[in-house]
Amino acid sequence: MVACVEIRAAGKTYASPRGPVTALEDVTLAIAEGEFVSLLGPSGCGKSTLLKCIAGLEAPSAGTIGVRGTPLAGPPQGLGMVFQRDVLLDWRTILDNVLITAEFQGKPKAALAERARALLDRFGLGDFQDRHPWELSGGMRQRAAICRALLCEPEILLMDEPFGALDAMTRDDLNVELTRIWQAARRTVVFVTHSIAEAVYLSDRVAMMSKGPGRIVEVVAIDLPRPRPLSIRETPEFGRHVAHIRGLFAALGIVKE
């Protein structure tokens, strides 16, 4: 069976005035259709770089990355991406910010306006569709950014620490909503985070990355049942997964026991 995303011995090296800087080294990972995989590791380990390579925004310096058996030569069809920052346009309303995805893909805005409004309603933003980003809180802006990524029903959703700057309660709310969306549509999701608990809660598998240059040192299967209420974080099974991953990182000198 052909994987949805297949990374084989990928590396990424950047030129700098002080010499080459290697961000990724010998990364190999296969992601199945409909799977939710988190890339977990410390800051600076190359998680975001790997995500950009999967998105076709950057080319690997070594190895290959393919989607459904085809090597990447730019962003693949059916891709949605959520960045660390919401990157909303302040001069456009929230609805128009969501609809910008239709413009980029050459699709008629009018045909997708109803879906855009439905997404905003689902994320609690229905009453704010005519507001501008500067009128919304950080959590609301990030919800709008997720709506924008979901508008054209992407087959592959890449998320680069989208909740990292949010308060704990907002982050929990968005974790729950993301699992609901994934459960309903079973898109392939690659999610970057540095939170062990978040990775365990969201994922089918967690790909653990070393300090830079980033390598995948272990892939941990998360066998917790779905759907996953937030209360699952209080269970012994959840705690065992978190402790297992923390112990592996401690053995690598990435976190302290």
Give the pLDDT confidence of 62-105 residue by residue, as tens digits: 999 999 989 998 888 889 999 888 889 999 999 999 999 888 88
pLDDT above 70: residue 172? yes
Amino acid identity, position 198 = E
- C-alpha to C-alpha distance for 193 and 162, rounded to whole angstroms: 8
In order of 46, 65, 81, 180, 247, the CA distances from 155 in angstroms are: 24, 17, 11, 16, 34
Of 76 and 30, which is predicted with more confidence?
Answer: 30
pLDDT above 90: residue 167? no
pLDDT reported for residue 89? 93
pLDDT above 90: residue 196? yes
| pLDDT average, residue stretch 222-248 | 95
pLDDT reported for residue 31? 97
- C-alpha to C-alpha distance for 95 and 40, rounded to whole angstroms: 32
pLDDT reported for residue 58? 92
pLDDT above 80: residue 106? no
| pLDDT average, residue stretch 22-26 | 94
pLDDT reported for residue 1? 56
Under a CB-based contact definition with an 8 Å cutoff, are residues 6 and 70 in contact? no
What is the number of domains present in the chain? 2
pLDDT reported for residue 93? 96
pLDDT above 90: residue 118? yes
In a domain, 52, yes or no: yes
Report the side by side order of strands in the sheet with 70-71: 21-31, 5-14, 62-67, 70-71
pLDDT above 80: residue 254? no
pLDDT above 90: residue 200? yes
User: 49 with 99, same domain?
Assistant: no
pTM above 0.85, yes or no: yes
In a domain, 240, yes or no: yes
pLDDT above 70: residue 257? no
| pLDDT average, residue stretch 137-160 | 91
Burial of 242: CB neighbours in 10 Å, binned 0-12, 13-18, 19+: middle
User: 160 with 149, same domain?
Assistant: no
- C-alpha to C-alpha distance for 143 and 196, rounded to whole angstroms: 22
Q: Are strands 36-40 and 216-221 parallel, antiparallel or unpaired?
A: unpaired
Query: 59-84 in b/e burial notation, b at 16+ Cβ within 10 A?
Result: ebbebebbbbeeebeeebebbbbbbe
User: 74 with 164, same domain?
Assistant: yes
Under a CB-based contact definition with an 8 Å cutoff, are residues 4 and 188 in contact? yes
In order of 46, 97, 226, the CA distances from 21 in angstroms are: 11, 36, 41
User: 220 with 244, same domain?
Assistant: yes
- C-alpha to C-alpha distance for 105 and 10, rounded to whole angstroms: 29
User: 167 with 181, same domain?
Assistant: yes
| pLDDT average, residue stretch 186-205 | 95
Which domain range does residue 223 map to? 32-58+70-78+156-257
- C-alpha to C-alpha distance for 54 and 46, rounded to whole angstroms: 12
What angle (nearest 5°) sits at the alpha carbon of residue 36, between those of residues 238 and 88? Answer: 110
| pLDDT average, residue stretch 230-244 | 96
pLDDT reported for residue 71? 92
Tell me which of 154, 170, 189 is where a domain ends: 154
Residues 1-20: tens digit of each pLDDT: 568 999 999 999 998 888 89
In a domain, 192, yes or no: yes
Residue 129 CB contacts under 8 Å (≥ 6 apart), including other chains: 93, 94, 95, 116, 117, 120
User: 160 with 204, same domain?
Assistant: yes
Summary mean pLDDT of the chain? 91
